[in-house]
Structure 1
Amino acid sequence: MDNRIRVPPIELRWLLCPFCGAKTVLFDNTANCHGVHIKCTRGCKQVFEIKIRNGEQVHS
């Protein structure tokens, strides 16, 4: 009998800047986040809010 705890497979994804499409932050498929603001470190330098619901980036 296998008594180990089942762990969902973790898949890492990139959060994309909504202005220029640059990869900014890594998150996994179990993440939930809102209310965190970051500045794009690539070309556009825009500040935007990170919105992740059920492991998917929410576009506003």
Structure 2
Amino acid sequence: MTDYSSPQIPALRRSWVICPYCKAKFALHDNKAECRGVFVKCTRGCGKEFEIIIVNGKQKR
């Protein structure tokens, strides 16, 4: 049985996850992404660890 009460929104836009310390582009996410509790180490510039927090398709911090 298909649930038609909440229509699926297609991924229309992709954005970069940006390192909050050195502002290097790190990874891509789309406008439907939700993320919290993922800790990564910047491999592009500074080498510092930071948490990826994405709410409503936008990166926080």
Structure-2-length-normalised TM-score: 0.81
Matches of 1:38 and 1:56, distance apart in 2: 17
Counterpart of 2:32 in 1: which secondary structure?
A: coil
Letter matched to residue 57 of structure 1: Q
Question: Which blocks of at least 5 consecutive residues in structure 2 are unaligned?
Answer: 1-6
Question: Which blocks of at least 5 consecutive residues in structure 1 are unaligned?
Answer: none
Partner of 2:18: 16
Please state how far the C-alpha of 1:8 moved relative to its aligned partner: 2.9
Q: Percent identity?
A: 49
Partner of 2:49: 47
Partner of 2:32: 30
RMSD of aligned Cα (Å) = 1.5
